Amino acid sequence: PAVSDLFRSAAEAGPHDILKLYNPKGNIINICPGLEPNSPASCYRLEVVAADCNSEPLGAELAGALGFNLSSMEKRLQGLEKKVLFAAGETPAVVLEMKKQVDWFREKLESVEHLSWLGFYKDLSEGPHQPSPFYHKRSLHKTREEVERVREKVLQMSSLEVSEELRQNLKTPTFDNWQWEDAEIMVLLQVMFTDLDFISSFNIEPEALQHFLFEVYRRYNNIPFHNFKHCFCVTQMMYGLIWLTDLRNKLEDIDLLIMMTSAVCHDLDHTGYNNAYQINARTELALRYNDISPLENHHCAVAFQILQRRESNIFRNLSSDQYKRIREGIIKCILATDMTRHNEILNKFKSVLPAFDFTNKEHKDLLMMILIKVSDISNEARPMEVAEPWLDCLLQEFFNQSDVEKLEGLPVSPFMDRDKVTKPSSQIGFIRFVLLPLFMELANLFPCLEQHIIDPVRKALDYYTEMDKALGRQQPKTAARTRPEPSKPETS
């Protein structure tokens, strides 16, 4: 059971999901303690071939049609067999026949090609679905149907007016992203670009903006944390900071456009595995970018692939000099979100703060990098009911990665091991030694931010400290063992 549980964790599979393990030749093999060790040259392939039936309406319907659960049926049979043996002294033929049918059903589950619950009823001749190992209940990349469904909803909403109350709420760090669907989020992103006067200032055609946002939506993957909703939260926090600090009167419009576009694009095509994994696993991205911020370089590249196409190029009416400046700025901002550069960027910002000059390009560049960094890791500045679900998503993504690292024999990334990390232990050091110092330096330049982003973060620190104490009272040894070092990065 321990081996099965390890594989189930690695695949982020539910208790009733069915796994298949393939050897390097593509043959199905049993998951058992006697497995030969993995090696870089001969990797096993783990696949979730049937998700929990009860997680989807159709699955629930099929589960009802089957009318039983295999494991519970086995238990009932064992109980019945004991009663019959006690009464009759031998196992009747009918019970033996039932046991035989259960064994046959299990064998069918383990050997049916392209298995899913639908596989018993539907021809899957188009080929096996290859789910992501860390988010298997949806395909990693968005399907065409998924994108078209959202596109239709956006077009239906294009004639609707956004209320003044919503426009004002959108400018605050307390905004609750969980209330909004993806289509509505795209409309809100359009509202932000419009209300900052980008449409008129840079002659951005509404159709181009809409097409750009569709492409951005399509290129954010179905993963627990670094998804389209995260992109929205980072952009909305950046938007809020622009209004709270009156940056419209301190920076040029083109700088604001750079920051907002960078926020929208900053995690494009993230697959849920951080830079440490990319480098240790020697992935294509790590090889392409020579181990230098492979993810952030990829996010930039995908952004400019989208902007390369005329129909989704929101900068197509700008001069070449303006485009060059925007491209340079976006690259700087997105590359600044690599947390391995955190201390370098923060120390440079601190060094210019005493004599900060909004007309000095170096000072402005540092401020823009700090603003996107703050926006990227700003969840704990939001109300607890908004922030805590994001921590659950983040830990799910972290645990998925560490499970895969264990299976592949790679170094396990710090602060990602589900056996060592708890919710409070993951946040206390991070808030104290990363978030607060960063936020406080920004508040030194903009004192009004104290109440908006620093006070909520202090409350979050108190909340997780109390939670850690409560866990410590229940499991003192575990709590002591899992308390993290202070440098844990929240995102990559």
Residues belonging to the binding site for AMP are 226-230, 267, 376, 427
CA distance 317 to 120: 55
CA distance 76 to 55: 24
Among 295, 300, 198, residue whose Cα is nearest residue 239: 198
Among 229, 55, 216, 222, residue whose Cα is nearest residue 139: 222
226 part of the active site: yes
Take residue 369 and report the two structure tokens written for it.
């990098």
CA distance 38 to 409: 7
* Sequence-separated (6 or more) residues with CB below 8 Å from residue 194: none
User: Which residue in 226, 299, 363, 452 is the catalytic one?
Assistant: 226
Length of the chain: 492
Binding-site positions read 226-230, 266-267, 376, 427
Amino acid at position 116, single letter: S
Among 377, 372, 351, residue whose Cα is nearest residue 362: 351
Sheet holding 28-29, edge to edge: 28-29, 18-22, 45-50
What is the SS3 assignment for the chain? CHHHHHHHHHCCCCCCCEEEEECCCCCEECCCCCCCCCECCECCEEEEEECCHHHCHHHHHHHHHHCCCHHHHHHHHHHHHHHHHHHHCCCCHHHHHHHHHHHHHHHHHHHCCCCCHHHHCCCCCCCCCCCCCCCCCCCCCCCHHHHHHHHHHHHHHCCCCCCHHHHHHCCCCCCCHHHCCHHHHHHHHHHHHHHCCHHHHCCCCHHHHHHHHHHHHHHCCCCCCCCHHHHHHHHHHHHHHHHHCCHHHCCCHHHHHHHHHHHHHCCCCCCCCCHHHHHHCCCHHHHHCCCCCHHHHHHHHHHHHHHHCHHHCCCCCCCHHHHHHHHHHHHHHHHCCCHHHHHHHHHHHHHHHHHCCCCCHHHHHHHHHHHHHHHHCCHHHCCHHHHHHHHHHHHHHHHHHHHHHHHHCCCCCCCCCCCCCCHHHHHHHHHHHHHHHHHHHHHHHCCCHHHHHHHHHHHHHHHHHHHHHHHHHHCHHHHHHHCCCCCCCCCC
Are 456 and 383 in contact, with CB atoms under 8 Å apart? yes
Catalytically active residues are 226
